[in-house]
Amino acid sequence: MLLNQLSNKTVDEIDIGYWELKDNDEILWSKAFLSSLKYSEKEAKINLNYFLNHIIHKEDHDLFRNNFFSFIKNGTDFRQSMLLKSRKGKYKEFVCTTNFNFSLKLNENSRFIFFNKRKFKTNKKVSKNKFYYKETAEMTKTGSWYVDFTKQKSYWDQQTRRILEYPEDYIPSLKHSIKYFPKAYQKLAKNTFIECAYEGKKFNIEIKMLTKNNRSFWVRAMGKPVFNDLKKIIGIRGVFQDIDASKTKEISLQKTSNIVASQNKRLFNFAHIVSHNLRSHTSNLTLISELIDTYDSCEEKLSLIENVKDIANSLHETIEHLNEVVTIQTSTNKSKSLVVFDNILNQVIKSIGQIIAKENTTIHSNFSKLEAIDYIPAYLESIFLNIITNAIKYKHPDRNPIITIKSKVLDNNKILEISDNGVGIDMDKYGDKIFGMYKTFHYNDDAVGIGLFITKNQVEALNGKISVSSEVNKGTTFKIEF
């Protein structure tokens, strides 16, 4: 957008650097703006591309471009500090703003962008150092801050404001500083701060912070107390670094690693189960064949046929159980669908209605907080069935079973809780074995030890978690996180 006459493109005699954006998209640069960068009116090739490519520092380039175009298109005001290169190749710091409060005989059809030079009363060396600090801070996304207890104020550097998405003239609040942290991390922030302020404890933690636009992100925050001559703590000085990208990666890696570990554990467990449960049958078969050799008479040999039948039956049963487990592991890609808790529960109650009635069982359910989930319907049915029949099977001898089932959402986790008033399980003794295969803890003859094992496998196959809490003679609660 070069005009023939350069003199037309610089405007005004006032000693303030600005751009005038005319309604015909033409941009004029003020004389003061050019001179502050040591350009003469004739030298500068006045256009936006030249500014973006040769004048503005590359770190400030993208932000300015975005700000500039959203100002042009939507009239969004902005304020940004930036480094601009003078003709001699030196960077100077400017504050660029659109809503500069300055009475100027301005053309009403134009819009303006102002560039105020930052004034440093420092010698060259310091400002050079400052420049490096700023570069370091920007490149490492590190902000620094100071809290002054005597003045009851907090101070932020520009980088802190930038990271937290606050405008450059924002004055941080000490009183409401908890709002810079998301709810879940406010307690940690408070405790860390208090420990530093009262006990002089340095800190170095990973914590989530909240920007002005309510975006939460991970930072590494470090800080230490500031003492006066009397060794009294008068403030806290600290830095924090935006580590959101790496922390998010770390968390997802940790998740993947947990999944792999749990799958590996299940696989190992399964291999163990297969070898153990099949071995007990095969060793019985071996024993029988030895006995056949030992016996002399045909009658004696034939008497062992009954035992062979027993082994065949239990071997068959074990293989059925193992098959059931394999089916769970391999059918996780079975189609999930929206499953309504109430419907599934009614189905289960219907199918075991006789047992429920026989034991005078009461079932309370409340699914108002979470009515349905995306799940494999058959699994949810089996989960309900196993836990409810267990609750009835292991009811307390002195009272009728009462089963309470409710769903809820806690911290984005979907949770189902099933509690009973049964005999309970001694958690100290059996806590780690409850979900094991063929583990039974009661004297009931019909205890097989397969139900909860299947339930756990179903829940985990869909990346969920199941846990149990129980008190002997009081009851048991199963908690499933989907």
Nearer to other proteins, 115 or 453 (CB): 453
SS3 for 437? coil
Binding residues for other proteins, rule CB under 8 A, total 30
Spell out, one character per residue from 300 to 339, where the chain touches other proteins: x when CB under 8 A holds, - when not: x------x--xx--x-------------------------
The contacts of residue 121 (CB under 8 Å, 6+ apart) are none
Show the tokens assigned to 11: 């405007």
The DSSP H or E segment spanning 69 is helix 58-74
Nearer to other proteins, 295 or 482 (CB): 295
Query: Shortest gap between Cβ of 265 and other proteins (angstroms)?
Result: 15
CB 424 within 8 A of CB 475: yes
264 binds other proteins (CB under 8 A): no
Query: Shortest gap between Cβ of 343 and other proteins (angstroms)?
Result: 36
Show the tokens assigned to 250: 């770390």
183 binds other proteins (CB under 8 A): no
Segment 388-447, which members bind other proteins (CB under 8 A)? Answer: 438-443, 447
Nearer to other proteins, 107 or 280 (CB): 280
Strands of the sheet with 91-97, listed across from one edge: 10-11, 27-30, 17-21, 111-117, 91-97, 79-85
Q: How many CB atoms lie within 10 A of CB 312?
A: 12
Query: Shortest gap between Cβ of 423 and other proteins (angstroms)?
Result: 13
Q: How many CB atoms lie within 10 A of CB 477?
A: 16
Spell out, one character per residue from 268 to 307, where the chain touches other proteins: x when CB under 8 A holds, - when not: ----x--xx--xx-xxxxxxx-xx-xxx----x------x
Nearer to other proteins, 107 or 284 (CB): 284
116 binds other proteins (CB under 8 A): no
Nearer to other proteins, 117 or 301 (CB): 301
**Phi then psi dihedrals of residue 271, to 5 deg:** -60, -40
The contacts of residue 43 (CB under 8 Å, 6+ apart) are 87
CB 30 within 8 A of CB 18: yes
**Phi then psi dihedrals of residue 26, to 5 deg:** -80, 140
Nearer to other proteins, 25 or 293 (CB): 293
Which residues contact other proteins by CB under 8 A? 272, 275-276, 279-280, 282-288, 290-291, 293-295, 300, 307, 310-311, 314, 438-443, 447, 449
